[in-house]
Homo-oligomer: A and B are copies of this chain.
Amino acid sequence: MTLTDLRYLVALARERHFGHAAERCNVSQPTLSVAIKKLEDELAVTLFERSAADVKITDIGARIVAQAEKVLLEAGQIKELATAGRDPLSGPLKLGVIYTIGPYLLPHLIPRVHEAAPSMPLLIQENYTARLAESLKRGDLDVIVVALPFEEPGIVTQAVYDEPFRVLMPAGHAWEKDERIAAARLAEAPLLLLGAGNCFRDQVLEVCPMCRSGEGLQRTLEGSSLETIRHMVATGAGITVLPSSAADPLPGGNSLLTVRPFEAPEPFRRIALAWRVTYPRSGAIDVIRSAILGSPLQGVRPVTR
């Protein structure tokens, strides 16, 4: 029993004539004859009474034809589903973003994605890189926004933008007089850092290797966020390093804080999209990338690959 057989069956039930039904199915009359006979043999019931005068459907035949129509209808739905699902911009996209990007990127990203792909709702999760990577590999996420380096088997990445780091200090801080700050000086100040697991913490420590070892002045704030740290800096608890997208939007709006760039070579992080090599909705990824690049993130430089 194949779907083709069922189509023949339904056609014959409608036409009550092998020749006409065959024509409607674009096959020859013997083809249809044989198919119906095969079906009857397989089901071990007589579906039609054939006579010279006409073709009559049996009671059981009528019931089976009705069921066959249902099957064909449901089968047709598969094609409809496929057509609807063919558009990579239709259907929800599961997006993951690291904690140190989300709050600054998402407010810009979301309306842009919604405009570019109205029928692609975003299901967003913020988390640490490691957690995002896990979810991505498991299939719980489709695309993630992370900082490079990011190497995972089966995962491809595409750099989107570079983002310079800034020094954030309370207004009136001694360094305020300097246009730019040398990275090495971070070791001299009470540096507020995110907790372990945040890749940004590691990147900051990489900028200032002195800070890492021994008993520096830095304080690690577990369970904190860049925003919390920023508030703490404003109260004079210390200084910190922020990515430009988190640091730059505020001056003019916050008289308690001062932002300074680093001396060259300016430290920065490279933000990238990552997805499974096998992920088929590349169009959706393109939309995300464009939306990110279209977002007014302070100080970032697009990476043209």
**Which A180-198 residues have a C-beta within 8 angstroms of B?**
none
Q: Are A137 and B71 in contact (CB under 8 A)?
A: no
How many copies of this kind of chain does the complex include?
Answer: 2
Q: Are A56 and B2 in contact (CB under 8 A)?
A: no
Residue of B nearest to A85 (CB): B60
Is A86 an interface position by the 8 A CB rule?
A: yes
Distance between Cα atoms of A85 and B91 in the complex (Å) = 44
Is A253 an interface position by the 8 A CB rule?
A: no
Given known A3-B3, A85-B59, A92-B59, contact A280–B64 (CB-CB < 8 A): no
Q: Which residues of B contact A74 (CB under 8 A)?
A: 67, 70-71, 74
Residues 43-80 of chain A: 1 if any B CB is under 8 Å from the residue's CB, otherwise 0?
Answer: 11110011111001011100110011011001101110
Q: Which residues of B contact A3 (CB under 8 A)?
A: 1-3
Give, as a whole number of angstroms, the nearest-CB distance from A290 to chain B.
22
Distance between Cα atoms of A78 and B60 in the complex (Å) = 10
Q: Which residues of B contact A166 (CB under 8 A)?
A: none
Is A277 an interface position by the 8 A CB rule?
A: yes
Distance between Cα atoms of A45 and B79 in the complex (Å) = 10
Distance between Cα atoms of A154 and B53 in the complex (Å) = 9
Q: Which residues of B contact A277 (CB under 8 A)?
A: 51
Is A139 an interface position by the 8 A CB rule?
A: yes
Q: Are B278 and A51 in contact (CB under 8 A)?
A: yes
Q: Which residues of B contact A77 (CB under 8 A)?
A: 67, 70
| Number of chain A residues close to chain B: CB under 8 A | 44
- Contact of A56 (CB < 8 Å), options: B78, B82, B91, B278: B278
Q: Which residues of B contact A2 (CB under 8 A)?
A: 2-4
Q: Which residues of B contact A67 (CB under 8 A)?
A: 74, 77-78, 81
Give, as a whole number of angstroms, the nearest-CB distance from A261 to chain B.
42
Q: Are B81 and A71 in contact (CB under 8 A)?
A: no
Q: Are A50 and B278 in contact (CB under 8 A)?
A: yes
Residue of B nearest to A61 (CB): B85
Q: Are A81 and B52 in contact (CB under 8 A)?
A: no
Q: Which residues of B contact A70 (CB under 8 A)?
A: 74, 77
Residue of B nearest to A66 (CB): B81
Residues 71-115 of chain A: 1 if any B CB is under 8 Å from the residue's CB, otherwise 0?
Answer: 100110111011001100001100000000000000000000000
Residues 136-167 of chain A: 1 if any B CB is under 8 Å from the residue's CB, otherwise 0?
Answer: 01010000000000000110000000000000
Residues 266-281 of chain A: 1 if any B CB is under 8 Å from the residue's CB, otherwise 0?
Answer: 0000000000111110
Distance between Cα atoms of A68 and B51 in the complex (Å) = 37
Q: Which residues of B contact A91 (CB under 8 A)?
A: 59-60
> Other than the known A2-B3, A52-B154, what 12 A-B pairs have Cβ atoms closer than 8 Å?
A1-B3, A1-B79, A43-B78, A44-B86, A51-B154, A51-B278, A53-B153, A58-B280, A59-B85, A63-B85, A64-B85, A71-B74
